[in-house]
Structure 1
């Protein structure tokens, strides 16, 4: 009997997991893989249909730079990765990415992935910019494969020498997890647009 592939998805906040990682994690679970979600706790996590093949473990990850908290989180991730013996660790978000990539590398996870969805350091200056850029460079070095959510972002990261061109890819034409057609339905937008136009027209008539 073949063992299930064990995957860990790491992100800094629960909101990100439920809005972007949830459909992918559920799909992987349905395909027979074992998926563990790790992030800071948030009530949004209860939106995920957890159970056999898809579980959640709370790992507090500070969004801002906090050496003491970050070291504690790193050791918690190392302990969790040793316990689960994951085949794949896939991270998103800057802090979650950095800490999980270090932990996955130190514990010998064979496939270490990270998806970039933006670079906070672009608008920073001074030492903080240097530190956050170095964090992204370290992510690129420790991962076995990196992804960007758009071709322009991939090209930007390569130009900035954050990651080597042969190590970063864009899936198809980009995006993080596609578009939820239940939430973003054109007919809803069209209906709302018509309603706005009617109200605007009524206001204009009343002003005459």
Structure 2
């Protein structure tokens, strides 16, 4: 029996591996046909070959550009009408806005918006109001909204972004699940000690990099042999001060890897994982770290609060230098607890966030 024809809409091709990834292979085997509308890039072409989807390059600017946005809506509308999609799924605030409007105008039978986070949480003034209203408009043109964590649903309801009956949560959260076979759990050692703290993600203010580097300076004074491993790109939209980047480059105990295609091997070079973020939708990196057997230090903010079990797979820290310092120091001084939390984390992810579990939810809740 032939599956349905689905169009995903994203702003940038970088998101595809994390928002959808192996779903392309899984559902293609079950008869579904996937297309992707996305800003043009060489990466989009290579990903279309890797994952077997039909690419439709179209400019989807992250900034508000009324003329270009109207042109893009018209192009997506015509593409939808030509291909006759059963389902349109849009991701991110801008991709969601243009995708849901296009899908509505083309009268697509099922329009789904993935709310991966609340970008306005760290915005103020007019920018915050604008971003909140964009969420409301996008939701109005959607049949349902997949919120990637329970705390995103709570915030969405508090802010009245959409009627509660439109909200969907896939299992315990996340948008794509974790390939638990790709993230290898290290062996347990009786003489385990913490030598490396690790971070994976964009290096920017919202991810708490200022606080992390501040905490790192304090820790280095007490533990001279300690290393810090940073994996991820420098964010061009939320740039770090030159003083911080200079410090990262100059410190011989900090290894800055930059952006990589596959993060999985790097977790095995870490002993503690830290994500001191100010906002998330559902941080996939904490699940990847837990799947790799790492204890996690993160913050009590939207998304992050759903990604660990406190004092079982990780611990929370305040969004301050001192708070992050004390949380990391606890694991350094208690390696047995750190190791046990890593073991618990692997079991937690396998039981609740494996790709197979999430993909079954996606088919039952969204594609059927």
Please indicate the TM-score interval, normalised by the length of the shorter structure: 0.7 to 0.9
TM-score w.r.t. the length of structure 1 is: 0.84
Partner of residue 20, structure 1:
19
Partner of residue 32, structure 1:
31
Describe the shift of the 1:203–1:135 C-alpha distance in structure 2 as closer, same or farther (beyond 3 A).
Answer: closer
What is the CA-CA distance between 1:103 and the residue it aligns to? 0.4
Q: Which runs of 5+ in 1 are unaligned?
A: none
Structure 2: how far apart are the matches of 1:135 and 1:189? 48
Structure 2: how far apart are the matches of 1:18 and 1:139? 23
Q: What SS is found at the alignment partner of 1:16?
A: helix
Instruction: List, as ranges, runs of 4+ consecutive aligned residues in structure 1 with deviation greater than 6 Å.
Output: none
Structure 2: how far apart are the matches of 1:202 and 1:134? 49
Structure 1: how far apart are the matches of 2:126 and 2:194? 50
After superposition, the C-alpha distances for 1:82-103 in whole angstroms (9 at most, x for unaligned) are 1111100011111000000000
Contact between 2:3 and 2:30, CA under 8 Å: does it hold in 1?
no
Structure 1: how far apart are the matches of 2:182 and 2:2? 36
Describe the shift of the 1:182–1:57 C-alpha distance in structure 2 as closer, same or farther (beyond 3 A).
Answer: farther
Structure 1: how far apart are the matches of 2:43 and 2:12? 10
* Higher-helix-fraction structure: 1
Describe the shift of the 1:164–1:20 C-alpha distance in structure 2 as closer, same or farther (beyond 3 A).
Answer: same
Contact between 2:87 and 2:110, CA under 8 Å: does it hold in 1?
yes
* RMSD across aligned positions (CA): 2.6
Q: What SS is found at the alignment partner of 1:187?
A: coil
Q: What SS is found at the alignment partner of 2:14?
A: helix
Describe the shift of the 1:176–1:189 C-alpha distance in structure 2 as closer, same or farther (beyond 3 A).
Answer: farther
Structure 1: how far apart are the matches of 2:154 and 2:188? 33
After superposition, the C-alpha distances for 1:18-70 in whole angstroms (9 at most, x for unaligned) are 2321211222211101110111123333144254xx31111110011111221
Number of equivalences: 197
After superposition, the C-alpha distances for 1:65-85 in whole angstroms (9 at most, x for unaligned) are 111221111111111111111
1:180 aligns with 2:173: no
Partner of residue 9, structure 2:
10
TM-score w.r.t. the length of structure 2 is: 0.49
1:152 aligns with 2:151: yes
What does 1:68-79 align with in structure 2 at a 5 Å threshold?
68-79=67-78
Q: Which runs of 5+ in 2 are unaligned?
A: 197-219, 227-368
What is the CA-CA distance between 1:184 and the residue it aligns to? 2.8
Q: What SS is found at the alignment partner of 1:22?
A: coil
Partner of residue 104, structure 2:
105
1:169 aligns with 2:168: yes
What is the CA-CA distance between 1:180 and the residue it aligns to? 2.7
Structure 1: how far apart are the matches of 2:13 and 2:175? 16
